Amino acid sequence: MRFAALLIIFSGAGSAYVERDLDKVAAKYLIVAPPAFAEHLDSLCDHRSKTYKVAVARTDDIAAKFGKGADGISAFVKKVDPKFLLLAGDAEAVPTFVRKSEYVTEKFASDPDVATDYLYGPPTGRFPAHSVDQLKMMAARSVEYETALPAGRWQKKISIVTGEGNFGALIDDALERQVYGILTGKIPPAYDIETAYAKPSSKYCYYPPKFGANALRLLNEGSLFYAYVGHGYRDGFDDIRYKDDSYPIFDKKSVNDVAVAEGLPIMVVIACSTGEYDVKGVPCIGERLFQRPRGPVAFIGGSRTTQPYGNGLFGHKLVEQCFAAGTETLGEALWAAKAATLAKDTSALRLQADAIAAAVQGPAALEPMRKDVILHYNLFGDPALKIRRPAAEIELKPRGNPGPGRSFSVTGKAPDGPVEVTFECARDKFVHPTDLQGDTAEEQIARRYANANNKVVVRSLASADGGAFEAEVELPESLKPGRYFLKAYGPGAIGFREILIPE
C-alpha cells in the first residue's frame, strides 16, 4: 500500500519550479510557458536558481486569472515584477503584442504594424520552440554556453557581414560611415574583426559567387558575435549582385548547413523582417537559425520592415552596451540600447543621422521611427544569458622604442599559459597588398579579401608563468607611420595597448 502511494506521488510530481497558485509567485527570473512545456525547463531553472529566485507560470493559469493573450500575461508580469522574463514557446503558444506602427508612409517601404515582446516590461527573451525536444535543446544550449563551453579564440572574434544599402548615394554613404565608425570606435581594439561586405568594389568583398558560402563559414567557425547589416526578409538576407547575376548571402537553405564548431555566437541581424516570428506555422529565418542544435545561442532581429535611420541608431547603441564594462547579460544590454535609442543624444553620429533622415523623410518622421525601432527588435534566447566576453584582461607594457626595423620587448600580466602578442594596424588601415593579383577573378578577390582583413604586422609567441610573460617584437623596415595596436591573447584573456609610430 505504501509503495502504491509512493508511485502515485512520484508519478504526479512535476517541476518544483512550476507554481500553479499565481498569488504565490515571487520571482526575479520568471518563465511563462504553455502547459505542455512548463515541466521541461528544469535544467535551465536549476542553473538560474543559483543566482535568482526562479518560477515557471503556465499560460492557462495566467489566462484564467489575468485574462487571455499578451495583455493578460503582461498584467501578471507587472504584478510579479521580475528582473528577467523568458517566454517559453513560439507566438502561437505564448502570445506576443502586435501594435500599430508609429511611422507609416507610402513614400518608403513600411508596415502598418509591428510584433514585439518589448511591451512586457523587463528584459524579455523567447524560446521559439515548436516541440518539447526543441525547448529542451534551447535550454540546454543556454546552460552549456555559460558553464561548459571552453574558452577560446571565438571569444575575441567578431564576424560582420554587410549588404549594400541601395538607398541612394547620400544614405548609403552615411550608412557606410556609421558601420565603419562602429568598427573603428565602438568595438574595443583587443577584439579581432572579420568583415565581409557584399559590394564587389570593396576590398572586404569575398568572391561574389561564393559570398554566401563565406558568410556560412564565418558563422560555423564560431565567434562572440555574428552580425549582419543590410536588407532582409522573412526567409533570408539580401543577394549580392555581380556581373548581371545575383547570389544569396544567406537563405533558409543555408540554415540546414549551420553547425557551429567553436563557441556559440550571439547573432544580431540589423535588417527587415528576419525576426518576423508571429506568422502561424511558418518560422522566420531567425527562428530557423535559433532552432538549429549548434546554431547561435541567441538571435536579435526585426519583426517587420525597419528604417535605415532607426536601424543605425539602435545598432550603434547595441554595440556600445554589449561591450560596456558594467553589462553582464544580453537582455540588459538590449534593453539599455533601446532606452539609449530613445534618449537625448548630442553625439556627432546622432546629429548627422538626424540631419540626413530629416532631409529624406522629414523632421516629423524621426521620433516615430525611433519609437518603432525599439519595438521591432526582439530576442530569441535567454535574456539572462551572460555574454562570454574574455574574463581576464592582459596588461601590456612595451619596453624600447618601436619603429621601422626596430625590435622592442613587451612585458605583461596574464593567466598562466600560452600568450600570443600581435602588432597590428588600425582597423581602417591596411598593411598587406589589396590590389587585384592572381590568375583568376576568384584568386584576385580572395587574396584582396584576406589581406584586407589581416591587420597583423608581426606576431610573437610567449608563455605566462606565475602570471607574467615577456615577448620580443621585431618590426619590419617597411612599417609606415601611424596608429597601431599591440594586442595580446591567452585562453579566456585579451588586452591591448595603442602605439603611435611617428613620422
Top CATH class of 150-380 equals: alpha beta
Strand-pair partners of 267: 226, 299
CATH superfamily membership of 392-501: Macroglobulin (MG2) domain (2.60.40.1930)
pTM of this structure: 0.94
What is the spatial distance between Cα 301 and Cα 205, in angstroms, rounded to a whole number? Answer: 24
pLDDT 10s digits, 303-335 = 999 999 999 999 999 999 999 988 999 999 999
Q: Where in the chain is the domain with CATH 2.60.40.1930?
A: 392-501
pLDDT at 8: 34
Closest CA to 30 of 90, 77, 100: 77
> Cα 126 from chain centroid?
15
Closest CA to 161 of 106, 74, 209, 226: 226
Closest CA to 31 of 118, 117, 125: 125
> Cα 399 from chain centroid?
37
CATH of domain 2-125: 3.40.50.10390
Confidence of residue 9 (pLDDT cuts 50, 70, 90): very low
> Cα 457 from chain centroid?
29
pLDDT at 149: 96
Q: Look at residue 264 and tell me whether its pLDDT is greater than 70.
A: yes
The percent of residues above 70 in pLDDT, for the chain, comes to: 95
pLDDT 10s digits, 202-222 = 999 999 999 999 999 999 999
> Which residues are within 8 A (CB) of 421 and not within 5 positions of it... i.e. 6 or more apart?
396, 410, 459, 460, 461, 462, 471, 473, 486, 487, 488
Q: How many helices (H) and strands (E) does the chain have?
A: 15, 24
Closest CA to 53 of 79, 27, 77: 27
The single residue listed with the C-alpha cell 577573378 is 441
> Which residues are within 8 A (CB) of 91 and not within 5 positions of it... i.e. 6 or more apart?
115, 128, 277, 278, 280
> Which residues are within 8 A (CB) of 1 and not within 5 positions of it... i.e. 6 or more apart?
none
Q: Where in the chain is the domain with CATH 3.40.50.10390?
A: 2-125
Q: Are 396 and 333 in contact (CB under 8 A)?
A: no
Q: Where in the chain is the domain with CATH 3.40.50.1460?
A: 150-380
Q: What is the maximum span of the chain, computed from C-alpha positions, in angstroms?
A: 92
